[in-house]
Amino acid sequence: MHFSIPETESRSGDSGGSAYVAYNIHVNGVLHCRVRYSQLLGLHEQLRKEYGANVLPAFPPKKLFSLTPAEVEQRREQLEKYMQAVRQDPLLGSSETFNSFLRRAQQETQQVPTEEVSLEVLLSNGQKVLVNVLTSDQTEDVLEAVAAKLDLPDDLIGYFSLFLVREKEDGAFSFVRKLQEFELPYVSVTSLRSQEYKIVLRKSYWDSAYDDDVMENRVGLNLLYAQTVSDIERGWILVTKEQHRQLKSLQEKVSKKEFLRLAQTLRHYGYLRFDACVADFPEKDCPVVVSAGNSELSLQLRLPGQQLREGSFRVTRMRCWRVTSSVPLPSGGTSSPGRGRGEVRLELAFEYLMSKDRLQWVTITSPQAIMMSICLQSMVDELMVKKSGGSIRKMLRRRVGGTLRRSDSQQAVKSPPLLESPDATRESMVKLSSKLSAVSLRGIGSPSTDASASDVHGNFAFEGIGDEDL
């Protein structure tokens, strides 16, 4: 999840008090909340008490006198780095202190009172589920409410997630992001002030082997079936005429398990498809359609003569990736902070092992670049849990002493430190890492902007591959 503080605002104090600087915190480019320096300092102090000063990133110090415009900009940059570092830390980013701070700030910024409301959640086939929730309910609370309405058992809730989507004119969904623990779903969707935005329930795992757990339950089976039928109708799953005939026959017989078993054998089953975008592979400015699933990113492109071609990039061969953003300057060629900004241009760039001795950067330019990055990270998390012999079966977070506690399986699924040296006992990983020290880096297009190490997602699943994967 990408945190940024792209701008500040000068605001009047309460009851006509002195003006102050407010920092606009954006999540994936959308305003999440507006906070003062003193509020962020209070968060920092609370985290320091709970976890110790040595765990926390540096926080910009107080100033005795009013800040100059240059100092305001410097503090904004420092606070942005601080928030990004805290969010990316497995311990701090998942803490209730951090997440509850962001939820309260979101509710206060959008000026939404706590009250009971009806919230509409869609299934993949467009069916509406109305749940009664509080405006202050977090994502997990809303997910539980939806599961209860559908009669989905507690032990299957972790197999599904809520997604924020934009409904296009043709009825198709464009995925914006997976709703997180630091936000209030009702506030997130209503603050966008557009009927285009909806909340959708969809399975949250990638490996189809986990379908067996879900299909044991009647409600789980129906949810998977509805999602798969919808994906086929949208053209997300690639189906031949003969396969389509077989699927239609099973649909008519209402043979849902057999339908899903056949669907599991089809290309792009369980994939998430993104809107048409542009990549620099196999050549610059190449129009592509990107799909994520089965531990890979798939790029489909149509060549002259309307021939459809597909290139697949395995997650296990991505050394690292990063999302970069840039804002085109206005026609005058200059822009002051927070003014005259154009539409943000987002790029996902990943370094890919094309052959045994060659790494190459591949860049995808898309408004959904952050969502693509989230998909990559969740696929890596799932691979690492499976490699360690763990399970993705997630139990509900139970309230203990008024706070929420993650299950052990959820705590285990965390991003690894950036390219941390593998343990010496992991021989295959050491062997590959030593080979890469002499690899030459040749790319068709390097990322458009520089990024610090904290902006790059290191990939433990990459270090785990061996010669047989090349």
Looking at residues 389-397, what average pLDDT do you find? 59
| Start-end of H helices in 283-332 | none
Residue 286 contacts residue 368 (beta carbons within 8 Å): no
Return the axis-axis angle of helices 218-234 and 256-264, rounded to nearest 10°.
50
In terms of pLDDT, which residue wins out, 7 or 32?
Answer: 32
Q: How confident is the model at residue 325 (pLDDT cuts 50, 70, 90)?
A: confident
pLDDT score for 6: 60
Kindly tell me the sign of the dihedral angle through the C-alpha atoms of 100, 104, 105, 106: positive
Write the pLDDT tens digit of every residue in 271-310: 999 999 999 998 899 999 999 999 999 999 877 666 778 9
- Which amino acid is present at 281? F
Structure tokens at 167: 């409904």
Give dist(CA 380, CA 273) in Å, integer.
Answer: 18
Q: Does residue 382 carry a pLDDT above 50?
A: yes
Structure tokens at 415: 């991003």
Query: Is-above-0.85 flag for pTM?
Result: no
Other residues' Cβ atoms within 10 Å of the Cβ of residue 318? 23
- HEC states along 251-290? HHCCCHHHHHHHHHCCECCCCEECCCEEECCCCCCEEEEE
Contacts of 281 (CB under 8 A, 6+ apart): 299, 311, 362, 363, 444
Looking at residues 24-38, what average pLDDT do you find? 88
pLDDT score for 396: 37
Q: How confident is the model at residue 267 (pLDDT cuts 50, 70, 90)?
A: very high
Mean pLDDT of the chain: 80
Are β-strands 456-458 and 318-326 bridged in parallel, bridged antiparallel, or unpaired?
antiparallel
Q: Does residue 243 carry a pLDDT above 70?
A: yes
Q: Does residue 339 carry a pLDDT above 80?
A: no
CA dihedral angle for residue 99, residue 337, residue 69, residue 58, rounded to 10 degrees: 30
Residue 405 contacts residue 397 (beta carbons within 8 Å): yes
Give dist(CA 21, CA 67) in Å, integer.
Answer: 10
Give dist(CA 55, CA 78) in Å, integer.
Answer: 17
pLDDT score for 63: 83
Residue 454 contacts residue 84 (beta carbons within 8 Å): yes
In terms of pLDDT, which residue wins out, 331 or 421?
Answer: 331
Give dist(CA 363, CA 7) in Å, integer.
Answer: 27
Q: How confident is the model at residue 312 (pLDDT cuts 50, 70, 90)?
A: very high
Q: Does residue 395 carry a pLDDT above 50?
A: no
Q: Does residue 224 carry a pLDDT above 90?
A: yes
Domains of the chain: 3-110 (3.30.1520.10), 113-204 (3.10.20.90), 206-270 (1.20.80.60), 272-326+345-400 (2.30.29.30)
Instruction: Give SS3 for 452.
Output: coil
Write the pLDDT tens digit of every residue in 439-465: 222 222 333 334 444 456 666 666 555
Instruction: Write down the residue that tokens 């079936």 correspond to.
Output: 225
| Start-end of H helices in 201-339 | 211-215, 218-234, 241-252, 256-264
- Which amino acid is present at 264? Q
| Start-end of H helices in 18-121 | 37-51, 69-88, 96-109
Q: Distances in Å between the alpha carbon of 195 and those of 136, 190, 198, 199? A: 21, 9, 7, 11
Q: Does residue 212 carry a pLDDT above 80?
A: yes
Around 369, how many Cα atoms within 13 Å sit in the side-chain half-sphere?
25
Contacts of 263 (CB under 8 A, 6+ apart): 228, 232, 237, 247, 269
End-to-end CA distance of the chain: 30
Structure tokens at 19: 């003006």
- Which amino acid is present at 132? N
Q: Does residue 39 carry a pLDDT above 60?
A: yes
Write the pLDDT tens digit of every residue in 154-209: 999 999 999 999 988 887 889 999 999 999 999 999 999 899 999 999 999 999 99
